[in-house]
Amino acid sequence: MTETPDPRPSGATPEHQHEPTRDLGPIWETEPQGPPAYAAPPPRRRRGAGLAAAVLATSVLAGGAAGVGGAAAWQEWGPEPTSATTTSSGTASASPVLDAAPAPAATDGSVQAAAEAVLPSVVKINVSGSGGSGSGSGVVLTEDGQILTNHHVVEVAEEGGTITVDFADGSHARAEILGLDPLTDTALIQAQDVSGLTPASIGSSSALAVGQDVVAIGSPFGLDATVTSGIVSALDRPVDVGTDSEGNATVYPAVQTDAAINPGNSGGPLVDLAGRVVGINSSIRTTGSSSPFGQTSEGGSIGLGFAIPIDEIMPIVEQMAAGEAPTHARLGISVSDVGVGTGRDGSGSASTDGALVTDGAQVRTVGDGSTAGEAGLQEGDVITGIDDTAITSADSLVATIRSYRPGDEVTVTFERDGEEQTTTLVLDSDADQS
């Protein structure tokens, strides 16, 4: 067993169908099909203020957003045609004087400098398979062509599909999948017959601070090498992008940013102003809109973008690069949100034997021989903290545990019979699951 949120609708939305009430999801760009119908790891940090209470449910954005609408907008915003004008005396006005001076050199710590540092390492990824086709972004990790991207960008090519990579210098190459990890929405691909690429510099997401400037780079709506900038809006935001066929949730403690991120940015880097990769852009919150013809489409960036912290990704990448199956830390329990219908007395209250519990993750089952069971956790306990991270919901527990590695020791704070208790345990690995 693994720690999972309450049962929820599972599985991807069938192609060309849309749920207008689900407005946040992985951001990759599909090819237009007619009128758009819808749109060794770094040291682990001791996590601070805690995960935000709001848990974000997500779904795949798969509309043909870069088709007719995108072209129309490009034309509307393009420069107007110019022509010579005449003065009242009938003589043609003088031509403007063009300043051909080069752009000023980038200063250290500027968005321009960060972009110059990482742009050579950012690629556009084109994917096709039996499930459709689309494009996303990726970041070069090695000179010989290992490229990091999102699982949801390349999964359509997993069964006999094709992947091609467009590099910053204009060259192209075929690529194959080295490893996939849906639980962290991470994928590693290998470009074929390439050398001398520019690997990106990898930073540390644990060093990020709310309000810090960051830069996002990728191929939104197929427009490769697009640079946007913003700030870190929040840290450790639990983002849920669905569950797999076995009920395991894809949840991660995201870096939230207001840098403009749109479909096609998926898999591209979020970097600090030193040009170091601190996250991989993966999902956005959007607002849906309906047309007079009954169609519903997904909007683009509204300043709520989410990146997977690089500290959580790199241990997984190292395993995939070595040909190993990715592993994840686990407690060996299933949990649900504390709320209506989850009270221990069965009354539907959010209380635990008279003690009001407003948030946390309530233990539903404890696996036989699990580390949680051996540490004394019981069904009905409400987990409220892991080390110094506050646990506010089932998804925040899953996201927090995913930020650790198997074998890490953690202190679990929980409530039982109205009393707060703690226990220390060593996290299991899902590699031990039968």
Residue 111 makes CB contacts below 8 A (sequence gap 6+) with 213, 215, 227, 229, 273
User: What are the tokens at 254?
Assistant: 């995201």
Q: Quick check: is 121 catalytic?
A: no
Q: Which of 206, 266, 283, 351 is catalytic?
A: 266
Determine the distance from the C-alpha atom of residue 401 to the mean position of all C-alpha atoms in its chain, rounded to a whole number.
17
Closest C-alpha to 120, from 163, 166, 154: 166
Instruction: Give counts: helices (H), strands (E), the chain.
Output: 6, 28
Closest C-alpha to 363, from 319, 386, 333: 333
Torsion-angle region of residue 236: left (phi > 0), alpha (psi -120 to 50) or beta?
left
Q: Is residue 147 within 8 Å of residue 125, measured between CB atoms?
A: yes
Q: Is residue 415 within 8 Å of residue 384, measured between CB atoms?
A: yes
Determine the distance from the C-alpha atom of residue 215 to the mean position of all C-alpha atoms in its chain, rounded to a whole number.
15
In the numeric block, the tokens 């819808």 are attached to: 38
User: Which helix or strand (DSSP H or E) is residue 99 part of?
Assistant: none
Closest C-alpha to 404, from 22, 44, 27: 44
Q: How far apart are CA 262 and CA 288, in angstroms?
A: 14
The torsion angles phi and psi of 372, rounded to 5 degrees, stand at: -65, -45
Q: Quick check: is 236 catalytic?
A: no
Q: Which of 23, 166, 185, 381 is catalytic?
A: 185
Q: Which of 18, 151, 152, 328 is catalytic?
A: 152
The torsion angles phi and psi of 326, rounded to 5 degrees, stand at: -60, 145
The torsion angles phi and psi of 151, rounded to 5 degrees, stand at: -60, -45
User: Cα torsion for 326, 328, 334, 335, to the nearest 10°?
Assistant: -120
User: What are the tokens at 261?
Assistant: 């991120």
Instruction: Identify the burial level of 335 via C-beta atoms within 10 angstroms of its C-beta, where 0-12 means exposed, 13-18 middle and 19 or more buried.
Output: buried
Q: Quick check: is 152 catalytic?
A: yes
Q: Which residues are catalytic?
A: 152, 185, 266
